[in-house]
């Protein structure tokens, strides 16, 4: 790994739910020094703590971890006026509406690692998942060449796709995948807070629909598992069918997965493939990397979001209930848990950035 | 329909969660007069209200509806000593452990409609679902002939299978089914109260495993959708794959279903088949019958358990989110909601009994 | 009671959470014919069902009861242009911000029964609670005289005060009250839906603060329990101290009350006073009236919101856990439950209107 | 502090919910070496992990923190046969029923720090709360003298009393207390898991009664705040009135407190007294001690259990919403949060033990 000097990084959209997660995960980061907190003009000019405190004196901080003292008094800057000469890398946690314009302004100058979907479906933009598709990363050079950018945009996927591709990638590589069916039971934090899901609506309830979610999961899964061919990614020709629901859970998306493999594999082989996955990546020992990308449990009552989302600080996909599937050819089924605001959002984006630095791309 | 005189019925296991549901649904029933409340020896001899009141004076009544005044002071009898000469029909809501012995004692004398699984898998025992497999009902005559019983045992299925077969039956009949994949998000009331699911375990959580549930769903679905051939039922050769989970919902099982059909059907045709299903049954106007067995909604955010479980007093399966499934041949997918303690338990059993009376079998 | 002809009534703010509750409680009302549904200009001109259906086809209906068919296709009118010549009475369910201006426009022409706080603290405006302060009602004549209005404004109290004053009134009358301390555990529906309380914020949580709530409860309790002296109400000189919290409950406010009485009263006397309260009111048999204003339970585990909010369709205050209070002079303590969207809002306002009609005031 | 050698400690009742908490808090403890895990005969002889794994392979571990690897394979011993010559100190986390006999067997030989109520109300037994009543601790010498024990029993209080006395002690000392009224909103973990509170019962609900809880809180508060006079504790003659309820929260008891002081104190003085409390104790720097016993927040929306229970690993009582109370003489009111399974149980007991060691009593 290049012994690169410490990077100066900005978080854009720093006051929102996703932005706050970035602050937690960048606190005392060994490589990235958070030098700029950017948000809308309304917050600009205020110390961060003041910017997220409402008129009644309530601190609108949504993370389990406390607000890092190092950033509490840092003055927020206007995202549209962020001095890009002063930062080496930007983490964009901007809501989809505003993301396109902001990222388009920044990417010509600096690498932008984004949680938004604004650029995900462009041909010269990879969707990066730590350890899953490292060979897609260098596609950012095409952006630099063709768009004449010095920086680039590298989005991470929708948080529901993250765990899914992490569990599917080893199956695809080792056995081949024919089709995938998935039902998600997604956490509230995936919907943010304003408006998010009303307490009134989710109490004693399941909401069986999340707008655009299923399309994103299906499209992104195929792209992430796709093959790099020269300067483009050929999506995997994999039929993916998702039903995405919301349940009354704070953090951690649970997914019931049913997969048809290309060839017969025993449950032991499948478990072995899952357990072995990503060793070459985790062996890099990147600062935000978990010791294992996938953890397989034999406890039939696991994974459970409240218990298992904490494993390796939410950076490991936990797989359980591995069984043969009687309804699909060479079918296997399992339940996975992925932490939607850790690996599925801010900390996952930071790990992507670490890997890009490691690869010499950022 | 035979203008049969009013039946005297007993509820066995009357003090438990399922038993209480029977009381609610038998209150002022036009055909069935509840003449005996039977439970364990511990409760015998006490007025019903006293039998379910704990030592601190707390009424352990678990239904939304109040305890029917007509039954509150009725003295509970010992189930093992129930005078079978005094009743024409028995509803058994006994826990699985004790059900086998009790039902074996009663069925030689009177028809026993049961929510337990004790007899479900015997060759001469049908698993009855209202409107779904009426031709299976007369299999009880084989019991009477071969076992030399005057009565019989007619169990209803596991509550998770009820909604599933109700939605699958019209698809099987009209288009043929090749395979079915289902993920359930089941309500707490399905697990009963002692021990049931601890509040501590389900808060902010999903529990991805319910012992024996998936096996029951798979087995019972095939049997209920099977064909009556002479004196036996030939199960449908349908691969069914289920993942059953528990969510923090009081009543109403939500199921995400993915089905492969034998032939291409448009979503309109599928919706039409679902909507038309069971007309000949609902037209009978049985006392506990809903006006429609399946309700199809176009609202993408429905069905939701808290909202939709009340439709037609929980006797209708609500289907929504009907979409094509890209991962299965001639695939369709949808989300259904079935009330696990109404159609899926006591009131469903009562409707089965009403139909047996109507068919002249009870 | 005057055999008045059927009144034509309007609901203003008909599309909101409180407005929807009015529709449910006015469906098939024997005295009030809902002839106008009024809302903001944005909804005006659309059939009601369409006005509350979002762009994805989702019906934003928040009541347990279904949308009454009689009103579903009724075209919504612009509240600011409501033809006041066409209605005899208005129910205002408008959010506080807009309520003042709208009610000020309507009250000169027709009686306005309001759930908003806009006029509650004016000297010539009574805050009416069914059966609690019927002698306050005629204060509306002072409005008519001094403001030269043909109509008037008659607000109901904050939903947290409703149950409190209903339980305190009999104690004040029979024993006298010295001081009252109360901690509320309030339901989510009291906060509405937009924004309301986020699911993310209330899951696994208690929120110990509801802006302005404690002040309202303290002020309104004193006014409602106050004495009519000529053309004014002299508030009761009663120290009231409230701590209002939000808990993860859908409907039904639970309140732990500690009261110091003027003279020693046994628990039996207190229970007796509570049980006997309001007979003269309930004996009127008004259409929305419960058979009893207060229900006292001996079950130590009651009242519970999920169980007891349904009693008498949410129109009865349920009191339990009656005990002596060792910390207050002649102290008693108890827990009460009041349904915040039934007696505490729409249906309570309708009962107030029924009584005003009965009193010949509306 | 005596530079005592490392103590060998046993946890009795190690497999239960409270026992598990001890394991977490004793992991890598600098003074206490956990040398024996004791439980019922049923668990004896099994490695700890196996003893808490059910027949389906499910690890019944209830803590947020993972099972410490150091103890997972340690063989559980039968509590009734624990070799008391091999341990220097015992932590008893035994359910009340069995606690009396077990603690009576152990205390003659070794100090027993207990979470049970078995001995709490005996005249020669102090109820110890860290930093609150250190002068009560030496009462254990009376046990040793009069009962001729080498060890002693030192119970901690009911978890609801812990936070209450921690907040009241500084008020009593600085201003004097006349009376206290308190409503608790208690977490599920306080009720344990078997049976605990059923998910079915607490969903969308508040349960307004916890058997024996109010009596314990009232009695223990007076004893803990009482005065040491020679060889006895004279309870404070303070009227305490509690209403204890259960809410759908995992950990952290919220308490709304209303207190009448002996003399007028400004809110600033009260806040100052709370903030300053326990400095001499926290300055000792005991291993499990928080940096502050009481944290006062100005954020009106705090304390919230989900957010604030984590502060200082649950060892600090968080106080917010400090206001004047209009209904009590020299009244103040506030809301406090105390972590019922940390300071209120295992880790609080460990901190008591550390202090006893520091005082040379254990």
CA count, 13 A, side-chain hemisphere, C220:
29
pLDDT for the residue numbered C3: 52
Torsion from C-alpha of B82, B88, B92, B98, nearest 10 degrees:
40
The whole-angstrom separation of Cα C248 and Cα C251 is 9
The whole-angstrom separation of Cα C308 and Cα A93 is 45
**Encoded tokens for C82:** 């409501």
Q: Is B73:B47 a contact under the CB 8 Å cutoff?
A: yes
Residue C231: which of C117, C137, C342, C94 has the closest Cα?
C137
Give contacts of A309 with chain C, Cβ < 8 Å: none
Residue B111: which of B148, B145, B153, B81 has the closest Cα?
B153
Q: Residue A2 pLDDT more than 60? A: no
Record: contact B301-C203, CB cut-off 8 A: no
Please state whether B157 falls in left (phi above 0), alpha (psi between -120 and 50) or beta: beta
Record: contact C197-A197, CB cut-off 8 A: no
Minimal Cα–Cα distance from A145 to chain C, Å? 41
B295 bridge partner residues: B318
Q: Is C338:C317 a contact under the CB 8 Å cutoff?
A: yes
What are the tens digits of pLDDT across the range D87-133?
999 999 998 788 999 999 999 999 999 999 999 999 999 999 999 99
Q: Residue B2 pLDDT more than 70? A: no
Which residue of chain D is at minimal alpha-carbon distance from B55?
Answer: D211
Strand order in the sheet with D253-261: D240-246, D177-186, D253-261, D331-338, D317-325, D294-296
Q: What confidence tier does A97 reach under pLDDT thresholds 50, 70, 90?
A: confident
**Encoded tokens for B286:** 């049985």
Query: Is B339 known to be catalytic?
Result: no
What are the tens digits of pLDDT across the range A272-282?
999 999 999 99
Beta strands in D168-310 (DSSP E): 177-186, 227-229, 232-234, 240-246, 253-261, 294-296
Record: contact B57-C300, CB cut-off 8 A: yes
The whole-angstrom separation of Cα D137 and Cα D127 is 8
Record: contact C306-D181, CB cut-off 8 A: no
The number of angstroms, rounded, from the C-alpha of A179 to the middle of its chain's C-alpha atoms is 23
- Return the active site residues of A: 159, 253
DSSP D205-216: --B---TTHHHH
Which residue of chain D is at minimal alpha-carbon distance from C178?
Answer: D327
pLDDT for the residue numbered A289: 98
Which residue of chain B is at minimal alpha-carbon distance from A300?
Answer: B209
Q: Is A337:A284 a contact under the CB 8 Å cutoff?
A: no
C37 bridge partner residues: C11
The helix (H) or strand (E) run that includes residue D102 is helix D96-106
Give contacts of B218 with chain A, Cβ < 8 Å: 326
Minimal Cα–Cα distance from C89 to chain A, Å? 31
Record: contact D200-B197, CB cut-off 8 A: yes
The helix (H) or strand (E) run that includes residue A174 is helix A159-175
Which residue of chain A is at minimal alpha-carbon distance from D309?
Answer: A64
What does DSSP assign to residue C68? Answer: P
Which residue of chain B is at minimal alpha-carbon distance from A259?
Answer: B327
Pairing mode, strands B232-234 and B240-246: unpaired
D-interface mutation test, from A53, A55, A59, A291, most D Cβ less than 10 A away? A59
C18-31 burial, b at 16+ Cβ within 10 Å, e below that, comes to bbbbbbbbbeebeb
pLDDT for the residue numbered A191: 85
Question: In this complex, which chains have at least 3 CB pairs below 8 Å with chain B?
Answer: A, C, D
Give contacts of B60 with chain C, Cβ < 8 Å: none
Query: Is B63 known to be catalytic?
Result: no
3-state secondary structure of A119: coil
What does DSSP assign to residue B228? Answer: E
Q: Select the more confidently predicted residue: B2 or B357.
A: B357
Give contacts of C24 with chain B, Cβ < 8 Å: none
Domains of chain D, CATH where assigned: 7-156+346-358 (3.40.50.720), 159-338 (3.30.360.10)
C-interface mutation test, from D190, D214, D243, most C Cβ less than 10 A away? D243
Residue C320: which of C328, C329, C311 has the closest Cα?
C311
Give contacts of C57 with chain B, Cβ < 8 Å: 298-300
The closest CB to that of A199, out of C56, C194, C248, belongs to C248
Q: Is D199:B194 a contact under the CB 8 Å cutoff?
A: no
pLDDT for the residue numbered C1: 44
A179 bridge partner residues: A260
Q: What average pLDDT does range D132-141 have in this prediction?
A: 97
Minimal Cα–Cα distance from D189 to chain B, Å? 6
How distant, in Å, are the alpha carbons of A108, B180, B256, C14, C126 from that of B172? 57, 11, 17, 45, 65
The closest CB to that of B207, out of A209, A245, A301, belongs to A301
Q: What angle do CA C33, C34, C40 make, to 5 degrees?
A: 165
Give contacts of B308 with chain C, Cβ < 8 Å: none
Residue D65: which of D19, D9, D20 has the closest Cα?
D20
The whole-angstrom separation of Cα B208 and Cα D56 is 14
Give contacts of B64 with chain C, Cβ < 8 Å: 310
What does DSSP assign to residue B350? Answer: H
- Return the active site residues of C: 159, 253
The whole-angstrom separation of Cα C343 and Cα C289 is 9
Give contacts of A199 with chain C, Cβ < 8 Å: 188, 196-199, 201-203, 248
The closest CB to that of D299, out of A57, A204, A298, belongs to A57
pTM of the model: 0.96
Record: contact D310-A203, CB cut-off 8 A: no
What percent of chain A has a predicted confidence (pLDDT) above 90? 94
pLDDT for the residue numbered D26: 98
The whole-angstrom separation of Cα C216 and Cα C242 is 10
Q: Is D315:D286 a contact under the CB 8 Å cutoff?
A: no
The whole-angstrom separation of Cα C9 and Cα D274 is 56
Q: What angle do CA D279, D284, D285 make, to 5 degrees?
A: 105
Q: Residue B1 pLDDT more than 50? A: no
Residue C252: which of A203, B304, D249 has the closest Cα?
A203
pLDDT for the residue numbered C284: 98
The whole-angstrom separation of Cα B256 and Cα B241 is 12
Residue C81: which of C104, C100, C106, C99 has the closest Cα?
C106
Q: Is A173:A353 a contact under the CB 8 Å cutoff?
A: no
pLDDT for the residue numbered C193: 63
Using a CB–CB cut-off of 8 Å, the residues of B that contact A are 179-181, 183, 185, 203-209, 218, 239-241, 243, 245, 247-250, 254, 256, 258, 300-307, 320-321, 325-328, 331, 333, 335
pLDDT for the residue numbered C324: 98
Minimal Cα–Cα distance from A201 to chain B, Å? 9
C-interface mutation test, from A61, A187, A195, A198, most C Cβ less than 10 A away? A198
Q: How far apart are the first and last CA of chain B?
A: 12
By residue count, chain A amounts to 362
The whole-angstrom separation of Cα B218 and Cα B300 is 28
Give contacts of D327 with chain C, Cβ < 8 Å: 179-181, 239-241
The closest CB to that of C188, out of A196, A200, A249, belongs to A200
What are the tens digits of pLDDT across the range D239-260?
999 999 999 999 999 999 999 9
A289 CB contacts (<8 Å, ≥6 apart)? Answer: A130, A281, A282, A315, A351, A354
What does DSSP assign to residue C308? Answer: H
How distant, in Å, are the alpha carbons of A267, A277, A325, C205, D55 from that of A296? 12, 11, 18, 31, 20
Minimal Cα–Cα distance from B4 to chain A, Å? 42
pLDDT for the residue numbered B3: 52
Mean pLDDT of chain B: 96
Give contacts of C312 with chain B, Cβ < 8 Å: none
The whole-angstrom separation of Cα D148 and Cα D155 is 19
The closest CB to that of C209, out of D179, D249, D301, belongs to D301
The closest CB to that of D206, out of C204, C254, C331, belongs to C254
What are the tens digits of pLDDT across the range B225-273?
999 999 999 999 999 999 999 999 999 999 999 999 999 999 999 999 9
The helix (H) or strand (E) run that includes residue B294 is strand B294-296
Which residue of chain D is at minimal alpha-carbon distance from C208?
Answer: D301
Residue A193: which of A95, A259, A104 has the closest Cα?
A95
Q: Residue A1 pLDDT more than 50? A: no
| Tally of helices (H runs) and strands (E runs) in chain B | 12, 14
The closest CB to that of A211, out of C56, C198, C203, belongs to C56
Backbone phi, psi, residue B248, to 5°: -85, 70
**C-beta atoms surrounding B54 within 10 Å:** 11
C-interface mutation test, from A64, A190, A199, A208, most C Cβ less than 10 A away? A199
Q: What average pLDDT does range B301-324 have in this prediction?
A: 97
Q: What average pLDDT does range D270-290 have in this prediction?
A: 98
Record: contact C300-B203, CB cut-off 8 A: no
Spans of chain C below 70 pLDDT: 1-5, 193-195
Record: contact C204-D248, CB cut-off 8 A: yes
DSSP A123-141: TT-----TTT-GGGGGGHH
The whole-angstrom separation of Cα C262 and Cα C329 is 8
Give contacts of A189 with chain B, Cβ < 8 Å: none
Q: Residue D3 pLDDT more than 60? A: no
Q: Is C258:C178 a contact under the CB 8 Å cutoff?
A: no
Minimal Cα–Cα distance from C161 to chain D, Å? 17
Q: What confidence tier does B4 reach under pLDDT thresholds 50, 70, 90?
A: low
Minimal Cα–Cα distance from C321 to chain D, Å? 8
Please state whether B192 falls in left (phi above 0), alpha (psi between -120 and 50) or beta: left
By residue count, chain D amounts to 362
Using a CB–CB cut-off of 8 Å, the residues of A that contact C are 56, 62, 188-189, 191, 193-204, 211, 248-250
Record: contact B248-D195, CB cut-off 8 A: no
Q: What average pLDDT does range D227-233 have in this prediction?
A: 95
3-state secondary structure of A64: coil
Residue D54: which of B199, B205, A299 has the closest Cα?
A299
What are the tens digits of pLDDT across the range B92-121?
999 878 899 999 999 999 999 999 999 999
């Amino acid at each position: 790994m290049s012994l690169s000097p410490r990077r100066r990084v900005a978080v854009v959209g720093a006051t929102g739910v996703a932005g706050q997660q970035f602050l937690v995960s960048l606190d005392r980061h060994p490589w990235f020094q958070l030098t700029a907190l950017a948000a809308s003009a309304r917050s600009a000019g205020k110390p961060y703590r003041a910017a997220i405190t409402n008129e009644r004196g309530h601190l609108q901080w949504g993370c389990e971890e406390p607000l890092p003292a190092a950033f509490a008094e840092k003055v927020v800057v206007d995202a549209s006026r962020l001095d890009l000469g002063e930062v080496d890398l930007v983490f964009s946690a901007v809501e989809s509406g505003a993301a396109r314009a902001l990222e388009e302004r920044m990417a010509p100058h600096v690498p932008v690692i984004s949680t938004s979907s604004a650029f995900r479906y462009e041909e010269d933009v990879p969707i990066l998942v730590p350890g899953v598709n490292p060979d897609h990363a260098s596609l950012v050079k095409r952006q630099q060449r063709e768009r004449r950018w010095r920086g680039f945009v590298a989005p991470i996927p929708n948080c529901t796709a993250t765990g899914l591709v992490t569990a599917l990638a080893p199956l695809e590589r080792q056995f081949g995948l024919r089709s995938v069916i998935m039902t998600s039971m997604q956490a509230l934090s995936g919907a943010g807070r304003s408006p998010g899901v009303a307490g009134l609506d989710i109490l004693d309830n399941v909401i069986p629909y999340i707008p655009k979610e299923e399309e994103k999961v299906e499209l992104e899964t195929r792209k992430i598992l796709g093959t790099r061919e020269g300067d483009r990614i050929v999506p995997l020709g994999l039929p993916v069918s998702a039903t995405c629901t919301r349940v009354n859970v704070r953090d951690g998306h649970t997914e019931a997965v049913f997969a048809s493999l290309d060839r017969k594999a025993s449950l032991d082989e499948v478990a072995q493939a899952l357990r072995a996955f990503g060793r070459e990546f985790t062996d890099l020992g990147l600062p935000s990397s978990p010791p294992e990308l996938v953890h397989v449990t034999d406890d039939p009552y696991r994974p459970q979001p409240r218990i298992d989302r904490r494993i390796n600080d939410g950076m490991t996909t936990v797989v359980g209930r591995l069984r043969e599937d009687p309804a699909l050819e060479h079918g296997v089924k399992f339940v996975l848990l992925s932490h939607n605001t850790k690996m599925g959002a801010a900390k996952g984006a930071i790990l992507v950035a670490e890997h890009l630095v490691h690869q010499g791309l950022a």
